[in-house]
């Protein structure tokens, strides 16, 4: 099993910096029993100037707050204090490149009443690209994304991730790298922990919000398309349309931008190296590292 901490690792909990190995949680917590918790996944990078920077920290903490509001978990912290605590966790652990995991969880309560107080944990560990560097073979999942009428789908809530575990596990058992989930109407939604994009005839497409977690990486990729004059459209599409794509990719904080090789065994039309996905993958890397990126140079 991967070790997320050692005897020296420090985490932040409710205003204090403590050793991870000596920190405990209550086994009667509502979060543990009912999946009633909210979390974030953030990355810090050692940027071109040598400075360690948390990528889009404000956007992530805004989403953490919004996720809590949506499912009625009290959120009493400011972005400023959370961002400061996150940099301090990186510093105390001597980390330059890290995956950061804030988690808001609730105290003991075995009823189904909304929480009246909550705790916050911020921990970090060194983590390579979550889905690896190579192109992924994905399959259409037999699991749909949770019904947006049955849940606050835009809340990054712990309980929702059982759906992601089921889809990911199914794909692995069938020999694929990852699954791709559809929405209730049969349109493509997203991966278990990443958003999906495709390229067709020089234009880029991604599903609109509705049945997806509107990712911060997704927003960055859309921004990069605008900056690089790559036409981009948010629209619903089917698996059949996606199978005719020239290229496709997943994106998320943990995965970054990762190319897809095939869907249900059918390869995408273009070599990845010639795709707009590759351009955006490089532009994303440059953005998080605060490096200049010239598209012309990339294509030359
Ligand atoms: N969809 C799901 C279901 C996710 O878990 C994630 C990862 N947070 C994403 C999309 C991508 O979101 P982001 O780019 O904000 O990490």
Q: What angle do CA 285, 290, 295 make, to 5 degrees?
A: 60
User: In degrees to the nearest 10, what's the CA dihedral of 52, 56, 58, 64?
Assistant: -110
Over pLDDT 70: what percentage of the chain?
A: 98
Is the predicted pLDDT of residue 298 greater than 60, yes or no?
no
Structural contact between residues 255 and 131, judged by C-beta atoms closer than 8 angstroms: yes
- Residue 9, ligand 1, Cβ within 6 A: no
List of residues 6+ apart from 174 with CB closer than 8 A: 139
Express each pLDDT in 191-243 by its tens digit.
999 999 999 999 999 999 999 999 999 999 999 999 999 999 999 999 999 99
Structure tokens at 21: 């190995």
Q: Distance from the CA of 215 to the center of ligand 1, in angstroms?
A: 5
Task: Tell me the DSSP string of 285-299.
Answer: HHHHTT----HHHHH
Instruction: Supply the residue whose CA is at minimum distance from atom 12 of ligand 1.
Output: 215
Helices (H), the chain: 30-34, 57-70, 79-92, 161-173, 216-227, 239-243, 276-288, 295-299
Is the predicted pLDDT of residue 69 greater than 70, yes or no?
yes
152 is catalytic: no
Residue 152 banded pLDDT, cuts 50, 70, 90: very high
Structure tokens at 40: 């974030």
Q: How far is CA 101 from CA 104, 126, 130, 254, in A?
A: 10, 11, 14, 11
Closest among 238, 206, 199 to 220, alpha carbons compared: 206
CA distance 124 to 109: 28
Ligand 1 pocket: which of 157, 192, 250, 252 to mutate (most atoms within 8 A of CB)? 252
Q: Which atom of ligand 1 is nearest to the CA of 190?
A: 1
- Residue 193, ligand 1, Cβ within 6 A: yes
Residue count (the chain): 300
- Give me the catalytic one of 88, 156, 172, 174: 156
Closest among 226, 206, 202, 220 to 275, alpha carbons compared: 202
- Residue 31, ligand 1, Cβ within 6 A: no
Strand partners, 271: none
Global pTM value: 0.96
Instruction: Supply the residue whose CA is at minimum distance from atom 4 of ligand 1.
Output: 193
- Residue 204, ligand 1, Cβ within 6 A: no
3-state SS class at 106: coil
Task: Tell me the DSSP string of 230-269.
Answer: --EEE----HHHHHT-SEEEEEETTTEEEEEEEETTEEPS
Indicate the domain borders of the chain: 10-125, 136-299
CA distance 38 to 42: 14
Express each pLDDT in 268-297 by its tens digit.
999 999 999 999 999 999 999 999 998 864
Structural contact between residues 195 and 208, judged by C-beta atoms closer than 8 angstroms: no
Can you name the CATH fold of 10-125? D-amino Acid Aminotransferase; Chain A, domain 1 (3.30.470)
Is the predicted pLDDT of residue 262 greater than 50, yes or no?
yes
Fold: same for 10-125 and 136-299: no
- Residue 146, ligand 1, Cβ within 6 A: no
- Per CATH, the homologous superfamily of domain 136-299 is D-amino Acid Aminotransferase, subunit A, domain 2 (3.20.10.10)
């Amino acid at each position: 099993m991967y070790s997320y901490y050692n005897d020296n690792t420090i985490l932040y909990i409710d205003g204090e910096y403590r050793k991870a190995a000596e920190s405990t949680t209550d086994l009667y917590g509502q979060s543990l029993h009912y999946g009633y918790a909210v979390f974030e996944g953030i990355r810090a990078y050692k940027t071109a100037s040598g400075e360690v920077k948390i990528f889009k920290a404000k956007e992530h903490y805004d989403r953490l707050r919004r996720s809590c509001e949506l499912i009625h978990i009290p959120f009493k912290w400011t972005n400023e204090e959370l961002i400061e605590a996150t940099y301090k966790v990186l510093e105390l652990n001597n980390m330059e490149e890290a995956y950061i995991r804030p988690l808001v969880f609730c105290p003991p309560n075995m009823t189904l009443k909304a929480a009246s107080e909550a705790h916050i944990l911020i921990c970090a560990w060194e983590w390579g690209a979550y889905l690896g560097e190579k192109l992924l073979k994905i399959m259409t999942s037999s699991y749909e994304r949770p019904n947006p009428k049955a849940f606050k789908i835009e809340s990054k809530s712990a309980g929702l991730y059982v759906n992601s575990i089921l889809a990911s596990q199914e794909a692995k058992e069938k020999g694929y790298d990852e699954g791709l989930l559809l929405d209730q109407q049969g349109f493509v939604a997203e991966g278990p922990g990443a958003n999906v994009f495709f390229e067709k005839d020089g234009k880029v497409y991604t599903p609109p919000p509705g049945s997806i977690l509107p990712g911060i990486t997704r927003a960055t990729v859309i921004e990069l398309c605008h900056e690089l004059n790559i036409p981009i459209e948010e629209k619903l599409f089917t698996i059949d349309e996606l199978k005719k794509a020239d290229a496709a990719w997943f994106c998320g904080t943990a995965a970054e931008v990762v190319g897809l090789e095939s869907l249900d065994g059918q390869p995408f039309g273009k070599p990845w190296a010639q795709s707009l996905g590759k351009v955006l993958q490089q532009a994303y890397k440059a953005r998080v590292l605060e490096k200049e990126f010239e598209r012309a140079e990339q294509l030359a």
